[in-house]
Amino acid sequence: MAEERTDLILDIKNLKVVYKTDMEVVEAVNNIDLKIGRGKTLGLVGETGAGKTTTALSILRLLPAVTGKVLEGEIHFDGQNLMEFDEHFMHAIRGNRISMVFQDPMTSLNPVLTVGDQIAEAISLHNDQLSKEEIDRKVEDTLSMVGILPKRKSDYPHQFSGGMKQRVIIAMALCCEPELLIADEPTTALDVTIQAQVLAMMRELRERLGMAMLMITHDLGIVAQTCDDVAVMYAGEIVEAGTVEDIFTGEHHHPYTVGLFNSIPNLDSRASRLKPIPGLVPDPTNLPKGCVFSPRCEHCTEICRQQRPETVTHGTHSLRCHLFAEKKEGGAAHE
Amino acid sequence: MENTTNTAAAVDNSEFSFKRASQAKEIWRRFRKSKGALIGLILLLIIVGVLLFAPLFISYDAAIESDFANVLAKPSKEHIFGMDGYGHDIFARIIYGGRTSLTIALIATVTSCLFGSALGAIAGYFGGWVDSLIMRSLDIFMSVPDILFTMAVVVALGANAVNLIIALTLAYFSNYVRLVRSQVLTLSEQDYVEAARAGGSGNARIILKHIIPNAIGVIIVNVTLNVAKIIIYESTLSFLNLGMPPPQPEWGMMLSEAREFMRPAPHLLIFPAAAIVLCACSVNLVGDGLRDALDPHLKS
Ligand SMILES: Nc1ncnc2c1ncn2[C@@H]1O[C@H](COP(=O)(O)OP(=O)(O)OP(=O)(O)O)[C@@H](O)[C@H]1O
Ligand code: SF4
Ligand SMILES: [Mg+2]
């Protein structure tokens, strides 16, 4: 935390975000830290309502103007704290150096503009020196990059299938060759075979463009296939983070992560039944006093209910649970 | 081909041509399905054609020069709609009156649409106190009956074409404020607007590129329906002697003058009344057809 690390493209420190409405205050993100190395992909995993999208929108400073507020924290992008810049500066960042792909391809394209026009718009927005012909050529290049015939640029979104729409959206996000791509559940709305195609394409483009990625998902399979690092988010907190190896093959895990793995089908243990995590995600307007996972945790003890655990880091692996508070070995017995 | 007819159907909307061929074709295909809409369109084209080419077959003089020998003459070969109480040719007065009335109505439609839409877009997009300020002022404005307000404007400023347009604009812009505001409120929640913002677009660009093009269909339909209302409203004003100064012919004023001779010479009343009804009906039919033709697209 002492000085800036130049190997990081994104460094989120102690970010706290709330939504303030007339009736209530939703504590959506609670003092999280996230780091993404240049060219690396971080998977952000968690149940619905964990605060994943909120984190993503905070990076682009696109939280709803009236209700969304960043209360604490810094977001360093390429060494600059984004929280200190004005809207004008952010216009130059968005879509140019940081792009975002949204969850639903069906509604993320403007129905009355051709896809070519929409890509051209995204290009010309950040390249005002380009001539019409150059932009046109770039539109065609961008379309072929995502495997769509360039001649389809004059088609409207409704003439494309869901998978192709998502390709177009990814094309728009990548046309200015951003250093960081935020993908918010980019394939949840697609069926499985198309999902695999789109993910393979994203991986390939990531290698080609050398960009970093924040892959938001609740699918651990996607994490295993695409990510270098993983952060597990629960009720606005990062409860466990580390490299893919740490999370998938490491010895010690946060009880919530264990629950996540138990609740997905596993080919190796086909016979054993899925074990969903009992209970519900806590109400973000009224979070538990101690550990946020304590109401659902089978290892819960008195201290868990009273005191919020600190994050304990060993090498690349960090955990936020009382089981691992003193020494990492302390928790092993419980596993 | 489809494009040109559709442009004519929208009467006053050159923006319509921005829709690409495929979409325009699709809209035209649905528009054509409705008999009423087609009849309205044909009537409207005839009316516009007659008014446009009128100077070729009848001179303006016939409308304003008195022929006292023929006062109140019944329709005949020379004067197909007959003569009025001042010995003016009624056909000529309807043609030239229509030219003025329709031009004023069209301009007032466009100005009220532009003014109202701009205010509505600002209120809807920025929300907060801007929205409150615009909408509360509008409430105050709308608490005064339209006709009273318009009369006050014309009386205060004097009766001429420009002031009539101002008065009609003020009477009609509030519809568009509400309409466009509600459109903008729904459209700015759309994912593609969020995506555009994430792509670095600013407010002006989002409004121009994403919100207006998606709201334009609904606005066009409203414009068409409003043209008919404004034609009638304009006639009402001229009926109350608040229209263009005489001897300039106008449909409403012709009705007003015809009252004196209602029994001996009903043709004085029938022809201008028929002109107003015909015009308003055909525009309404086209507007209805357009609304149905655009609707399925808007829902998707
Ligand atoms: N505009 C808003 N106003 C108030 N509360 C909000 C708003 N947006 C999100 N929230 C709340 O903030 C919390 C975090 O939401 P967020 O959208 O970040 O979750 P998420 O992890 O992206 O979930 P999902 O997987 O469903 O997309 C949720 O409890 C949600 O109800
Ligand atoms: S701190 Fe306690 S309640 Fe929370 S996850 Fe760890 S063991 Fe469970
Ligand atoms: Mg989300």
Residues of B in contact with A110 (CB under 8 A): 192, 196, 209-210, 213-214
Strands A98-101, A180-184: parallel, antiparallel or unpaired by DSSP?
A: parallel
CB contact under 8 Å between A94 and B23, yes or no, is no
A126 touches chain B (CB under 8 A): yes
Ligand 1 binding pocket includes A51 (Cβ within 6 Å):
yes
- Cα A218 to averaged position of ligand 3 atoms, centre (Å): 10
B218 touches chain A (CB under 8 A): no
d(CA A82, CA A331) in angstroms, rounded, equals: 38
Give the best residue of B192, B207, B218, B297 to mutate against chain A (max A CB count within 10 A): B192
pLDDT tens column, B151-201:
888 889 888 888 889 988 988 899 899 999 999 898 888 899 999 999 999
The rounded Cα A224 to chain-centroid distance in angstroms is 14
Break chain B into its structural domains and give their ranges: 30-59+77-298
Cβ–Cβ under 8 Å, residues A233 and A239? yes
Domain ranges in chain A with CATH number 3.40.50.300: 2-97+176-324
pLDDT band at residue B21 using 50, 70 and 90 as cut-offs = low
- Cα A49 to averaged position of ligand 1 atoms, centre (Å): 5
Q: Which residue of B has its CA nearest to A58?
A: B198
CB contact under 8 Å between A156 and B190, yes or no, is no
- Cα A326 to averaged position of ligand 2 atoms, centre (Å): 14
Q: What pLDDT was estimated at residue B212?
A: 84
Shortest Cα distance from B145 to chain A (angstroms)? 36
Residues of A in contact with B195 (CB under 8 A): 100, 102, 108-109, 169, 172
Rounded mean pLDDT of chain A?
88
A120 touches chain B (CB under 8 A): no
d(CA B280, CA B229) in angstroms, rounded, equals: 7
Cβ–Cβ under 8 Å, residues B129 and B82? no
pLDDT tens column, B228-277:
888 888 888 888 888 777 778 888 888 888 888 878 888 888 888 898 89
Ligand 1 binding pocket includes A52 (Cβ within 6 Å):
yes
d(CA B263, CA B270) in angstroms, rounded, equals: 12
- Cα A319 to averaged position of ligand 2 atoms, centre (Å): 10
Residues of B in contact with A95 (CB under 8 A): 198-201
For residue A331 the two structure tokens come to 């928790």
Query: Is the pTM here over 0.90, yes or no?
Result: no
Question: Cα angle at A208 between A5 and A106, to 5 degrees?
Answer: 100
Give the mean model confidence (pLDDT) for residues A119-134.
91
- The string over A164-202, giving b where at least 16 C-beta atoms fall within 10 Å of a residue's C-beta and e elsewhere, is bbbbbbbbbbbbbebbbbbbbbbbebbeeebbebbbebb
B197 touches chain A (CB under 8 A): yes
- Cα A20 to averaged position of ligand 1 atoms, centre (Å): 12
Bigger pLDDT: B292 vs A78: A78
- Given a cut of 70, whether residue A334 has pLDDT beyond it is no
Ligand 1 binding pocket includes A56 (Cβ within 6 Å):
no
Q: What pLDDT was estimated at residue B14?
A: 36
Q: Whose CA is nearest to atom 3 of ligand 2?
A: A294
Residues of B in contact with A93 (CB under 8 A): 200
Of A257-261, A289-293, B214-218, the poorest mean pLDDT is in B214-218
A177 touches chain B (CB under 8 A): no
pLDDT tens column, A189-224:
888 888 888 899 999 999 999 999 999 998 898 999
Q: What pLDDT was estimated at residue B220?
A: 82
Of A212-221, B25-34, B104-113, B202-211, the poorest mean pLDDT is in B25-34
Ligand 1 binding pocket includes A290 (Cβ within 6 Å):
no
Q: What pLDDT was estimated at residue B95?
A: 87
CA torsion through residues B132, A70, A184, A217, sign: negative
Ligand 1 binding pocket includes A232 (Cβ within 6 Å):
no
A78: left (phi over 0), alpha (psi -120 to 50) or beta: left
Of A144-153, B19-28, B51-60, B277-286, the poorest mean pLDDT is in B19-28
Write down the ipTM of this complex.
Answer: 0.83
Q: What is the CATH number of domain A2-97+176-324?
A: 3.40.50.300
- Cα A255 to averaged position of ligand 2 atoms, centre (Å): 7
Q: What pLDDT was estimated at residue B297?
A: 47
d(CA A80, CA A9) in angstroms, rounded, equals: 10
Element (H, E) at A13: strand A8-20
- Given a cut of 90, whether residue A243 has pLDDT beyond it is yes
- Given a cut of 50, whether residue A328 has pLDDT beyond it is no
DSSP label of B89? B
pLDDT tens column, A48-65:
899 999 999 999 999 988
Residues touching ligand 2 (Cβ under 6 Å) are A 254-255, 291, 293-294, 297, 299-300, 304, 309, 321-323
DSSP states of B130-189: HHHHHHHHHHHHHTS-HHHHHHHHHHHH-SSHHHHHHHHHHHHHHHHHHHHHHHHHHHTT
- Given a cut of 60, whether residue B298 has pLDDT beyond it is no
CB contact under 8 Å between A125 and B201, yes or no, is yes
The class level of CATH for B30-59+77-298 reads mainly alpha
